[in-house]
Structure 1
Amino acid sequence: MSNREAYMEKAKAQIDQWNAEIHKMKAKVDEAEADAKIEAQKQLDEARKQRDEAEAKLKEMRAAGDEAWDDMKSGFDKAWDNISGAFNNAMSRFRG
């Protein structure tokens, strides 16, 4: 497996983990009281938005040619760190 393939597999595994977290959040939102439900839904929506951005970035990386890979990787790393941080913030606020 090339470094590129391993890198993308790692990113995909992170997205899968986020999907599992979102699924757990959704179950808790469904059980929440009205006031708490509104705020919890906001955090769930934010987590989904960050996950969707990560999936879009991963799709861009997969579509990139080998020549563009090295140039895109550093930009992807920076974007990934931002997305990951935002997702984790949403999860932290959700957990209270």
Structure 2
Amino acid sequence: MTAGTVQALVVCSTASGAVTSAGGPVSCGTDAKGNPLYLSTVQAYVVDPASAGYFDAIATPFDYTQAFGFWSVAFTSVVGLYFACLGIGTVVNFLRRA
């Protein structure tokens, strides 16, 4: 399932682009510094409106509480596994020397 399509868009940019009117670039005003802006074409990935909900769900704020919970479980599991393996190694060494 595609979330959108690649389309040609017309935007204002500082470079005089391929959009022309009677042989010259089309001006669309100036930027904050007074530099002239011209219409130009770019290719962009345009999201389908039906897929907008998917991207909105991804863009939710980061939940630090949930991340802390996941990290705590993972860290506790690693430390627990370390001590379990340490105990097994101690028993194996004891049996090997006995």
Question: With structure 2 as the length reference, what TM-score do the two structures score?
Answer: 0.27
Larger radius of gyration: 2
Q: Which has the higher strand share?
A: 2
Q: Which has the higher helix share?
A: 1
Question: With structure 1 as the length reference, what TM-score do the two structures score?
Answer: 0.28
Q: Which has the higher contact order (CA 8 A, sep 6+)?
A: 1
